[in-house]
Structure 1
C-alpha cells in the first residue's frame, strides 16, 4: 500500500499544478519520479501517518537541480532490496518501486534541453532554446516537473 499511496500523492500534486496534461508520457515521468521520491524518503516503508505538508520541504530538497537524485534513488533501492533479502521476501511495494525505476531509467523522452547538453558558449546568449531537443531518461524530465509541482502546491 505504501507505493500506491506515494503514487496517489504524486498524481495529485501533478494534477493540482496543471503543468502537463494527464495521460501523457511526460506526466507519467513526473508522477513516477515524484512517487519514487515520496516512497524512498519514508524510512519506515509504510507511509503510515505521513504528513504531506510537513514532507513537502524534504521532497523539494530531494528534487532540486543540484541534488544527486539518481544516485540517491539507486542507493535507497539497493538498501531496501538488501533489507528485503535479509528478511527473505521483497515486498510488493518495493517490487513496484523497482519496476518504476526500471521504466524511468530505461525510457528515453525527446524534450527541450534544460540540462545543458548544448555547449554553454552556444547557449549563453540564447538562454534555453526550447526548439533544441535531446533524448534523456524519463526521470530527467520528471524531476523538474515534480519539483515544480511540489513548489506550486
Structure 2
C-alpha cells in the first residue's frame, strides 16, 4: 500500500510514493491568482495557458523548494519581473529546467516538463499584439480581428502578468 509522505521527505530513496508537492502548490497559487484577477473564464484554453505559464514561473523561481503562503507575497515582484513584456522568459525557463534536471528532477520536474512541452506545442488563435505599433507606444488599441496562432506560453505570459498585477 502506498502512503503519502510529508513534503520534505517526498519519498525519495524510500520506495514510497513521491508526491509532487512543490508543483501542486505552484499550480494552486497560479490558479488563485488567475481566479482573483477574473480576466478570462476558467473553462477556456486561455485560462489554462495563463495558469500553466504562471505555475511554471512560480515553480522554477522557487530555488529552495520552500514555497509557502508567507513567501508568496514577497515573491510577487519577482514574478511580475519574470512575466514582464520583453523579459526572455522562454530562455529563463529552459535554463531553470536544465538546472533542475541536473539536480536530479523528481515528480515535480516531471509535471513541470509536461507543462512546458504543452505550452510550447499548443497554439491558440489570439489577437496579434505585436502587429500594432500603438501597443508599444502605450495606447492600447489592438485590432482583435487581426489574429495569429500563438504558442500557449506567449498568450499565458501577459495574462499571468496582469493577474499578478491585479492581485
Other-structure match for 2:127: 112
Which of 122, 130, 137 aligns to 2:151? It is 137
Question: Would you identify which runs of 4 or more consecutive aligned residues in structure 1 move more than 4 Å?
Answer: none
Shift of the alpha carbon at 1:10?
0.2
Shift of the alpha carbon at 1:103?
0.3
In 1, Cα distance between equivalents of 2:80 and 2:117 = 23
In 2, Cα distance between equivalents of 1:63 and 1:13 = 13
Q: How does 1:119-134 map to 2 (within 5 A)?
A: 120=133, 127-134=141-148
Report how many aligned residue pairs link the two structures. 145
Other-structure match for 2:112: 97
Shift of the alpha carbon at 1:48?
4.7
User: TM-score of the superposition, structure 1-length normalised?
Assistant: 0.88
Q: How does 1:55-66 map to 2 (within 5 A)?
A: 55-66=75-86
Q: Per-residue displacement from partner, 1:80-113 (whole Å, max 9, x unpaired)?
A: 11121xxxxx310000000000000010000001
Q: Per-residue displacement from partner, 1:126-149 (whole Å, max 9, x unpaired)?
A: 942111100010000000000000
Highest RCO, 1 vs 2 (Cα 8 Å, sep ≥ 6): 1
Unaligned ranges ≥5, structure 1: 85-89
In 2, Cα distance between equivalents of 1:41 and 1:134 = 30
Q: Judging changes above 3 Å, is the alpha-carbon distance between structure 1 residues 93 and 57 closer, same or farther for their aligned structure 2 residues?
A: same
Say whether 1:21 aligns with 2:41.
yes
